[in-house]
Structure 1
Amino acid sequence: MTNTIPTNRRKVRLLAAASALVVGLGLVVASGHAAQNETESQSMIRQEPASVALSARQQSIPLIAAFMAMSDMPKLSAALNQGLDAGLTVSEAKEILVQLYAYTGFPRSLNALQELMKVVAARQQSGIHDIVGREPGRAIPTGDALIVAGTSNQTKIAGATVKGAVFDFAPVINQFLQTHLFGDIFERDNLDWQSRELATVGALAATPGVEAQLRSHMAASMRVGLTVTQLRQLTQILTEHCDADTARRADHALTEALAVIRKENPHFD
């Protein structure tokens, strides 16, 4: 079908869509190349057959994250056991819990890591020898190279080059995001980005008051290759195993993220 939207008008719409998707992170799209970056990010969204589902390993990740965010140790223990049974390595489980300190805070991360230690020890005593997994296989950049890598990762995940009033007010927060979260953490290659986003969505869905960030990470999940079918499955998993508010927040965030994407791509999924 021939695109009849004038070029300038389309750029304005792309800019607006990009702004809506990243505003949950307190960001607005920078001028200049924002429309081009958003177009490129849309092309990264994978449109797969509806039969493609989350693996058993992937299904455990949002539950681990949600129960960590809730500080529900009995359910976290069960979710960790489920994940390890499904092929999650000990290293991957640790990485999920470490990453989530950026979203849920150090206390919850430390408590969850202690719970993982108990789970692994109990499984060993029962004769279960879980796959240890590996540490990151490449060196993490430092200095200016870390800023470059982190900024690139941030742009890919957010869908466009971003900046915002909050960063003008407190520039150091974006420096921390670019160098630490999107640099130090997202450069670690012992956990893939899809797993990282599944964990982030699970934790944010379980946290009241961060609906805007949850919406942004639903969109980010599609940018790193998760399909709409898989994200709908994620919301169903949360519906079945978590409280009604957690499931409602996840479902609403997915609906809102899809509305923006479909506005620019009417034939999406």
Structure 2
Amino acid sequence: MSSTARAEESTSGTATRRGLLALLAATGLDAAHAQASAASSSSIPSMTTSNTTLAPRQAALGPIAAAAAIGDTARLPSALNEGLDAGLTISETREALVQLYAYAGFPRSLNALTALMKVLDERRQRGVQDAEGATPGPVPVGAQLLELGTANQTRLVGAPVRGPLFEFAPAIDQFLKAHLFGDIFARDNLDWQSRELVTVGALAAMSGVESQLLSHVRVSLNVGITADQLAQAAQALSIAGHADAAARLQAALAQATRP
């Protein structure tokens, strides 16, 4: 794929902003919300290249996120190289690692970004010219940002998100809507599906967050990633040496698609 095509693919997802739904499973998201989410999925455009197969650049996102999320410095450089070779732009790869902080924390994100800088420098020294990719467009501020973040969150889940946790700690509701669903996920240089693949890869790699992983598997299905494609994402994790992550993702997928 040419750099122009990759840039067009990146900018085409101007509606792309998915948020930190990792908290949703613990906030009282009920069956009615899940049903509304499924009903709303037809309004979310698909960014995948086919109905059954992940594009190589998409399949590379999970191993990158998994290695970064758990600080696997041995596997992260090779995962980054494979992703860039598969067609990820510098902007997309960098954005995936920036987003990672919302799930794995600033230290993991900062370390992963440092690793990406080193990988890019080594590739340049070898004469590899990676496409820079699109820069994110402007993000609204103030009340407009909160409105956008709330709309993004509602669209992804399929209904307004409420729950005892948000009543107990309203500040986290504000941060989720204005900052995560707004500031971060209003950035349109990475499409919705790619962001979910990053999130699923990171959560699958971390132990103790199985309920959040299940929530994101359901959101992934809602944004147009198919069950077959999620199975391919699990296979990519396994091939990259993340057997535990692959098993967690397969278990979450089986639960999410259970009749």
State the TM bucket, normalised to the shorter chain.
0.7 to 0.9
Aligned to 1:27: 28
Q: Is the 8 A contact 2:25 2:215 kept in 1?
A: yes
Deviations 1:7-34 (A, max 9, x none): xxxxxxxxxxxxxx98524233599xx5
Deviations 1:105-157 (A, max 9, x none): 000000000000000000000000100112113x2111111111101111122
Q: Is the 8 A contact 2:139 2:183 kept in 1?
A: yes
Q: Is the 8 A contact 1:77 1:116 kept in 2?
A: yes
Q: Is the 8 A contact 1:46 1:226 kept in 2?
A: no
* 1: CA distance, partners of 2:120 / 2:161: 41
Structure 2 counterparts to residues 41-120 of structure 1, below 5 A: 41-44=40-43, 52-120=52-120
Aligned to 1:8: none
- Which AA in structure 1 matches 2:217? M
Q: Which structure would you say has the larger RCO, counting Cα contacts within 8 Å and 6 or more residues apart?
A: 2
Flag the 1:45–1:180 CA change in 2: closer, same or farther, 3 A: closer
Deviations 1:86-121 (A, max 9, x none): 110001111000001000000000000000000000
Q: CA deviation at 1:188?
A: 0.4
Aligned to 1:128: 128
Q: Is the 8 A contact 1:37 1:161 kept in 2?
A: no
**Normalised by the size of structure 2, how large is the TM-score?**
0.84
Flag the 1:203–1:150 CA change in 2: closer, same or farther, 3 A: same
* 1: CA distance, partners of 2:205 / 2:115: 19
* 1: CA distance, partners of 2:211 / 2:38: 22
- Determine which structure has more spread, i.e. the larger CA radius of gyration: 1
Q: CA deviation at 1:194?
A: 0.5
Q: Is the 8 A contact 1:30 1:161 kept in 2?
A: no
**Normalised by the size of structure 1, how large is the TM-score?**
0.81
Query: Which ranges of structure 1 fall in alignment gaps of 5 or more residues?
Result: 1-20, 263-269
Flag the 1:179–1:79 CA change in 2: closer, same or farther, 3 A: same
Aligned to 2:147: 148
Structure 2 counterparts to residues 1-269 of structure 1, below 5 A: 24-29=25-30, 37-38=36-37, 40-44=39-43, 52-137=52-137, 139-259=138-258, 262=259
Deviates more, 1:239-248 or 1:227-236: 239-248
Pairwise CA RMSD: 2.5
* 1: CA distance, partners of 2:51 / 2:189: 27
Q: CA deviation at 1:192?
A: 0.4
